[in-house]
Structure 1
Amino acid sequence: MKWSITQLRKFQDKPFEFHQTVNFDHLVKSLDLIDLSDIDIAGELTVRSNEVIADMHITGTYTMACARTLVPVEAPLDIKSQEIFDLEGYERYSNDAEDDEHYHDATDGMINLRDIAEELVIIEKPMRVFSNESDQMLREGNGWEVIDEEQAIDNAKEQEQSDSKQIDPRLQKLQQLYDEEQ
């Protein structure tokens, strides 16, 4: 994913197309992932007089733990980015109040997209993911279930009725006296 400027100057008339698969396994631990698939990077480099424009499409898959259940979940990675490499020197853009993160210095004579792709993979990682079964798992479990308000009211009424039918064993003697008087 590294090309020299002189090599790219041969493609001044037409864009230089590229497609490579890279492996960023070293990011798995630092990004707290279960796995990171091989990353496909495709695109084209367009050479102009004082800059090289890289249009990239990065695809892959993060495998992360579900935030609710810790079950492995695959999250897709799909990034489109346009990076501009300045051949005359990046300093002229650094005077602006707002530096553009898509501008890169190419005065060393090389265009290196691997580092930029790695940065994009890090930035685009989702904060958390949820499995499809996690909603169901939040509704019921071992000996419990979530009920709505109407069910709670109905359950309270049933409990109240069953409580009124049952006599507290401590007060059963008083009930017998009450029954004898009538």
Structure 2
Amino acid sequence: MKLIVKELEKLTSIEETLNLNSFLNESVDLIELKDVLVRGKILKSFEEVKLNLAVNLTVIQKCARTLLPVTYPLEFETEIIYSKDDKTYDYYLSDTIDLDQIIFAEILLEKEPFVYHESAKDYIDESEGSGHPAFQALKIDTK
């Protein structure tokens, strides 16, 4: 979804469901982003556009150990400032704002860095004190 800056009102409400599947090839661990709902307010002043948004979606991400899909909900709020003033902006204000691109970037910042499928085996169980099996031969007997 593209926002044309000169067509924005001083205060605009937004409630949109975005399809961000075209961006998925830019992330190595995301499989799918479902039901990406963006709600909030867009405030426009002289040379500034401020987006106050709440984003809700379902993330399907690869398990860090098995690459099996892990599904979880993600909710976050964000404030993004487009401006021509280099002291205040997050992004430089141009004639159009690509909402899809900026929301995808925010999702990359907010998603879990690593997720684990319920079947993923943890080779390092610190409660047993055994460590990874590959290093068992290196263990020094202190008795």
Quick check: TM above 0.5? yes
Larger RCO (alpha carbons 8 Å, 6+ apart):
2
Aligned-residue RMSD, C-alpha: 2.9
Residue pair 2:81, 2:91 contacting (<8 A) in 1 also:
yes
Q: How far apart, in 2, do the equivalents of 1:7 and 1:25 lie?
A: 27
Q: TM-score normalized by structure 2?
A: 0.67
1:104 counterpart residue number: 91
Q: TM-score normalized by structure 1?
A: 0.55
1:34 counterpart residue number: 31
- Higher percent of residues as helix: 1
Stretches of structure 2 lacking an aligned partner (at least 5 in a row): 130-143
1:21 counterpart residue number: 17
What is the percent sequence identity of the aligned residues?
25
Give the secondary-structure state (helix, strand or coil) at the position aligned to 2:79.
strand
Q: How far apart, in 2, do the equivalents of 1:85 and 1:34 lie?
A: 30
Residue pair 2:20, 2:100 contacting (<8 A) in 1 also:
no
Residue pair 1:21, 1:41 contacting (<8 A) in 2 also:
yes
Stretches of structure 1 lacking an aligned partner (at least 5 in a row): 94-99, 139-146, 150-182
The answer as to 2:100 corresponding to 1:124 is no
| Structure ID, larger Rg | 1
The count of residues paired between Structure 1 and Structure 2 equals: 125
